[in-house]
Amino acid sequence: MFGLVLLIAAFALVTGAERLPWPLGSRDGSCHAWRVDLDLAIGSELRLLPGIGKVRSGAIMALRSTRTGLQTSDLLQVPGIGAGTIARLEASGLIRRLQPVPDGR
């Protein structure tokens, strides 16, 4: 496992890539090796999501500082994220689904 991480890091350094592709999962996007937790991901992890760059990842982190249990629908409160971005995020299969929070959200 460490060798794989080292190989990916070396690739990033050599190519200067800020974004690395996620490992391929199923064709329908329902299964990926890694998924992002909106409540725990750091900025660089959020930027790996489709349509999320430096500014939007910062806005997502600011939004989650005001609430817990972020769902993809909550991202509509982030400037520049609309229904199209939400649809791409959900279709990508890269967001870890959270259990419903007690207040029924």
Mean pLDDT per 10-residue run, the chain (105 residues)? 60 52 49 76 91 94 90 91 90 71 50
Q: Which residue in the block uniquely carries the two structure tokens 């991901």? A: 41
CA 10 to chain centre: 22
> Radius of gyration over alpha carbons of the chain, in Å?
15
Confidence at residue 98, expressed as pLDDT on a 0 to 100 scale: 53
| Neighbour count for residue 17 (Cβ, 10 Å) | 11
Confidence at residue 60, expressed as pLDDT on a 0 to 100 scale: 94
72 closest CA partner among 98, 42, 54, 47: 98
| Correct CATH for 26-98 of 1.10.150.320, 1.10.3720.10, 1.10.8.60, 3.40.630.10 | 1.10.150.320
Name the H helices within the chain: 2-15, 43-46, 54-64, 83-92
Say if residues 86 and 76 touch (Cβ distance below 8 Å).
yes
Confidence at residue 22, expressed as pLDDT on a 0 to 100 scale: 47
Confidence at residue 91, expressed as pLDDT on a 0 to 100 scale: 86
